Structure 1
Amino acid sequence: MAKVALVTGSNKGIGFACVRALCKQLNGGIVYLTSRDEGRGKTAVEELKKEGLNPSFHQLDINDQESINRLRDDLQKEHGGLDILIQNAAIAFKNKDPTPFAEQATITMATNFTAHLNVCRTLFPILKPGARVSSLSSFGAVIFWDKIREDLKKRFNAVKTEDDVIKLMAEFVELAQSHKHKDKGWIDSAYWATKMGVCALTKIQGEAMLADSRDDILVNCVDPGYVQTEMTSGGGNKTTDEGAKTPVYVALLPPGTKTHGKMFSDCKVINFW
């Protein structure tokens, strides 16, 4: 049976390159390119069709639970579930953006962590046996870990449940809103904080899948590297196709692989926390 894959936030950048790579590597597979904006998404699909590829399109706004629900229902109806999920959708404020940090923290957390978690909670129940989840984190999570205070590191190391991670992320936003985050050991990067949240969440989710009745489901996260995208203002040292390499590698880990809840960089596990 043909595998069904889906990439969030994939009308451009790394997500678009992930769709391209999956279309090439999934023999006979069905690959969904998703976008919040239907017009941009369909334009992206047509670009790939000009390359001789054949992705499908589905509208998805990860900040809209009804949109996520529609996607889940359609995948279940049309395909009986999902085999591959690459969680790519995310936002980042530019370094020179004048938006107050409190607002940056609130908005970034809402998309990069809370909406990410909502997609997981909605789509994980329809993952098929042998499914793979590849969530994009960032090397910024490693920098974040190096810079935060030791007592905060201990609290991250102590997380056991999704709710534990949610509480840490909510605390960061609350402290940022009162300008007290640095006093409590956090640092001035909402993006890096959210990506550390993705790493912590991935650890919990990967371990939880070991007890799932469906066999061989893996949840891991990825540092794609410093990639030439709008988010980096084109300043990366990797092309988008190069940035897609590790997310797709994790999405295609072979049956029987035992790596779960880890972060990959350059197609290798990195243990930084």
Structure 2
Amino acid sequence: MFYSRVGVVTGANKGIGLAIVRQLALQYPESVLNNGPFLIYLTARSAHRGQAALRNLQEDAQLKAAKALAADGGLSEIRFHDLDITDSSSIRSFTEHVGRAHPDGIDFVINNAGIAMQGFDSDVVKTTLGCNYYSTLEACHAFLPLLKPHGRLVNVASTAGKLGSGYSEEIRSRFLSSKTEADVTSILKDFALAVETGSEKEVGFPSAAYAVSKAGLIGATRALAMAEKERGNNVLINSCCPGYVNTDMTRGRGSKTPDEGAQTPVMLAIGDLKDQTGRFWKDKKHENW
């Protein structure tokens, strides 16, 4: 079957990721990108959980009532594919599949996959940065060649990644003045090294692996957007905070529903952005980092 639009959502078997897929199907008919059949790749590390999520969406009462899915006469089809962004071979396998299946390119990727671990030590920092920063950026670079001109790349970050009082003025200035991914990576390497010696607060970092990983993601997303713009690539690259959502990641303490948390990532994927790129967004508005 021919699809006019194709999108990918990572980490989509539950929580915000699953809600993003659901809202994409619901909102696409009214989207500025609507020009025909729409394929959404729901990806997850676990085939069992991913397939279960797909079955739930296929039986979702609101999707059925809206006739959003192709099986009910709608525009959207949702297809599961396994993808573990922390595994380079999994990224390569999936992007090769997408490249073969859609030689004309895809329209957007929403990088939602991420982790939030309890505790704080060098192992937690290494694992958290590995997934939320390094693996997400590896996925970005693998997906970029697949995006159509004027495609979208959305990285789900967090307000926790904003440069608040936990940072020294020197570290904050380094983040804000960063121009390249390498600039941002050097800051995160300094953070990881400081944690190993227990000196992260002395050198100006908060003792918070998740927050620093998301600060890095916001900075690297901005740097990637600038680099692509300088190359003449018109893809729109943005990061966002979904808000404090009631999911497993927040251990049920969030104040937003997953559907509410999905609104900003969905807008950045299929809404009218007026060519804005390299920004950090929350509640459908861009915010200062």
Q: 2:107 aligns with which of 69, 83, 86?
A: 83
> Mean alpha-carbon deviation: is it higher for 151-160 or for 190-199?
151-160
> Mean alpha-carbon deviation: is it higher for 101-110 or for 19-28?
19-28
Residue matched to 2:32: none
Q: 1:71 aligns with which of 91, 94, 117?
A: 94
Root mean square deviation, CA, Å: 1.4
Shift of 1:77: 0.6
In 1, the alpha carbon distance for the partners of 2:271 and 2:231 equals 18
Residue matched to 2:42: 33
Q: 1:248 aligns with which of 258, 266, 270?
A: 266
Residue matched to 2:217: 198
Residue matched to 1:13: 15
Q: Percent identity?
A: 34
In 1, the alpha carbon distance for the partners of 2:173 and 2:139 equals 28
Shift of 1:254: 2.5
Q: Which amino acid aligns with 1:5?
A: G
Whether 1:3 aligns to 2:5 is yes
In 1, the alpha carbon distance for the partners of 2:47 and 2:285 equals 35
In 2, the alpha carbon distance for the partners of 1:253 and 1:175 equals 41
User: Could you say what secondary structure the match of 1:238 adopts?
Assistant: coil
Count of residue correspondences: 265
Q: Is the 8 A contact 1:102 1:173 kept in 2?
A: yes
Shift of 1:93: 1.4
Counterparts of 1:34-53 in structure 2, within 5 Å, are 34-51=43-60, 52=64, 53=69
In 2, the alpha carbon distance for the partners of 1:14 and 1:129 equals 27
Whether 1:165 aligns to 2:181 is no
Residue matched to 1:221: 239
In 2, the alpha carbon distance for the partners of 1:105 and 1:203 equals 22
Counterparts of 1:175-194 in structure 2, within 5 Å, are 175-194=194-213
Residue matched to 1:174: 193
Q: Which amino acid aligns with 1:232?
A: T
Q: Is the 8 A contact 2:180 2:227 kept in 1?
A: no
Whether 1:234 aligns to 2:252 is yes
Q: Is the 8 A contact 1:132 1:253 kept in 2?
A: no
Counterparts of 1:83-162 in structure 2, within 5 Å, are 83-94=107-118, 97=119, 100-142=120-162, 144-162=163-181
Shift of 1:212: 3.5
Q: 2:280 aligns with which of 263, 270, 273?
A: 263
After superposition, give the CA deviation of every residue in 1:1-48 in whole Å (9 maximum; x if it has no partner). Answer: 511111110000000000111122234210010000111101100100
Shift of 1:126: 1.3
Q: Which amino acid aligns with 1:19?
A: V
Shift of 1:205: 1.3
User: Could you say what secondary structure the match of 2:80 adopts?
Assistant: strand
Q: Is the 8 A contact 2:155 2:240 kept in 1?
A: yes
In 1, the alpha carbon distance for the partners of 2:237 and 2:283 equals 17
CA pair 212-82 structure 1, distance change in 2 beyond 3 A: farther
Q: Is the 8 A contact 2:245 2:257 kept in 1?
A: yes
Shift of 1:134: 1.3
Shift of 1:213: 4.2
In 1, the alpha carbon distance for the partners of 2:159 and 2:187 equals 20
In 1, the alpha carbon distance for the partners of 2:50 and 2:192 equals 31
Q: Is the 8 A contact 1:3 1:26 kept in 2?
A: no
Q: Which amino acid aligns with 2:167?
A: I
Runs of 5+ in structure 2 lacking a partner?
30-36, 70-76
In 1, the alpha carbon distance for the partners of 2:165 and 2:215 equals 11
In 1, the alpha carbon distance for the partners of 2:131 and 2:111 equals 12
Shift of 1:225: 0.5
Q: With structure 2 as the length reference, what TM-score do the two structures score?
A: 0.88
Q: Which amino acid aligns with 2:108?
A: I
Runs of 5+ in structure 1 lacking a partner?
none
> Mean alpha-carbon deviation: is it higher for 42-51 or for 158-167?
158-167
